[in-house]
Amino acid sequence: MPKYKKKITRLMDYEEFKEAIQDLPLMKRSFLSLLFFAGCRISEALALTSDHISCTDDTIFIQFFRLKGSKQTDPQEVPRADALNWLCGQEGRLFPFCRTTAYRLVKEIFPDLYPHYFRMNRITKTDILFGDAVVYHIFGISASSIDHYRGKVDIKNVGKALQKELG
């Protein structure tokens, strides 16, 4: 599980993310975009090579090697857009830096966040849209782990649904 002092539960949308990374070199934008869209761990992203990437016209399929007891998953789909396009043209190891450098990159651009924030962000958004079963199959984590990662959710929607059910 992540080791941080205070869990940030506010979700980040793509526009906020994209604005923050726009001035970075392409490889760094690609790395941060991978964390944002795939919700992978830093070590999973750093372990990627071109052999783990398959691209179509609009989708990138990424075979992550899941860590920390997570079950292995099918290739994860991310959109072939913006900085993620960079992944499709690489050979060999994708990101030639270490965990510390990756951590510093996140902190440089998002000083109040931690690298696992992007995992929480993606898991929470996926769970809201598709439910726990989909999160389990995409990320390979157990139900108790889903609860650990899940950020705050808007319970107001539940109240609205109950009102709608009443008619």
User: Which one of 1.10.443.10, 2.40.160.20, 3.40.50.2300, 2.70.210.12 gives the CATH number of domain 14-166?
Assistant: 1.10.443.10
**Whether this model's pTM surpasses 0.85:** no
Count of alpha carbons within 13 angstroms of residue 93, beta-carbon side: 8
Residue 162 CB coordination number (10 Å):
9
As given in the structure block, the two tokens for residue 160 are 């609205």
- Position with higher pLDDT, 20 vs 115: 20
Query: How confident is the model over 34-80, as pLDDT tens digits?
Result: 999 999 999 999 999 999 999 999 999 999 987 766 778 889 999 99
**The two structure tokens encoding residue 115:** 């690298």
Which residues does residue 61 pair with via DSSP β-bridges, in sequence order?
54, 77
* Every domain of the chain and the residues it spans: 14-166
